[in-house]
Amino acid sequence: MFLLQHVRVALMAAAAAFGAAVFMAINLFYKRRVWTPEDYCAFKEEEEERRQRQVLVLGLDGAGKSSVLQQLNGSTSKRKCTPTRGFNFIRLHTPTCEFDFLEIGGSEDLRAYWGDFLKRAHILLYVVDSSDRRRLLLAKDELHRLLSIDMQLPVIILGNKQDKLDAMSMSELHDALSLGSVVDQRKLYLLQLSSVGEPESCSLQNLQYLLVQLESNHN
């Protein structure tokens, strides 16, 4: 009888221990999965933030920024772009994310505000008219001014108007823009382009490919 009582107590203790273990396991399980509304909002913001990349498009007036955006947009129209007085915007959908391209006009009065837009940018696309030798020094100075404001931002420099006979080659542009003097650890690329070509041109595809690569390396 005495022995039976001991066995009963031992069984009850074992059941209690088992119950406590199950309770703790369930608790742990739900702690991992039940989000507060604040947690949920934070995750959503993070998710959205991850999927949208702002590409800031800058460069001197007439460099071809709007023409590049027109091409990226898949426009086959041969209509010439008019100078951008304020800003210009297009959205490009890719399987991994959306790229929001924001062009700010390149006239002298607007250049003063360029720096203000760097804060929200994930990538800087700097367009240069490769045939405008006279203003290349100015294009270089403006580029280096931007580089000194944000030391981390990845930069893609587009040597545009490569269809023109007097266009500078990539190595000439590299030297004229003093890209060798950029010593920070940022990602910096120089691509050539002609934004009067076909929208599915190889150089445009290279640009899109590079943007997607930069985005996937970022995650």
Ligand X SMILES: Nc1nc2c(ncn2[C@@H]2O[C@H](COP(=O)(O)OP(=O)(O)OP(=O)(O)O)[C@@H](O)[C@H]2O)c(=O)[nH]1
Tokens of 181: 């003097």
59 binds ligand X (CB under 6 A): yes
CB 126 within 8 A of CB 146: yes
Q: Which residues contact 219 (CB under 8 A, 6 or more apart)?
A: 50
Nearer to ligand X, 154 or 195 (CB): 195
Residue 80 interacts with, from ligand X, Mg ion, none (CB under 5-8 Å by kind): ligand X
* Of positions 118, 170, 196, 214, contacts ligand X by CB under 6 A: 196
Residues 123/154, Cβ–Cβ less than 8 Å: yes
Q: Please report how close the Cβ of residue 187 comes to ligand X at its closest, in angstroms.
A: 23
Residue 92 binds which entry of Mg ion, ligand X, none, with Cβ cut-offs from 5 to 8 Å by kind?
none
Question: Known binder of ligand: residue 64?
Answer: yes
**Which residue in 92, 102, 105, 158 binds ligand X (CB under 6 A)?**
105
Residue 135: name its binding partner from ligand X, Mg ion, none (Cβ under 5 to 8 Å by kind). none
Q: Would you call 126 helix, strand, or coil by DSSP?
A: strand
Gap between the terminal Cα atoms of the chain: 69
Q: Residues interacting with Mg ion, by CB under 5 A?
A: 65-66, 84
CA dist., res. 67 & res. 76, Å (int)? 11
What are the binding residues for GTP? 59-66, 106, 160-163
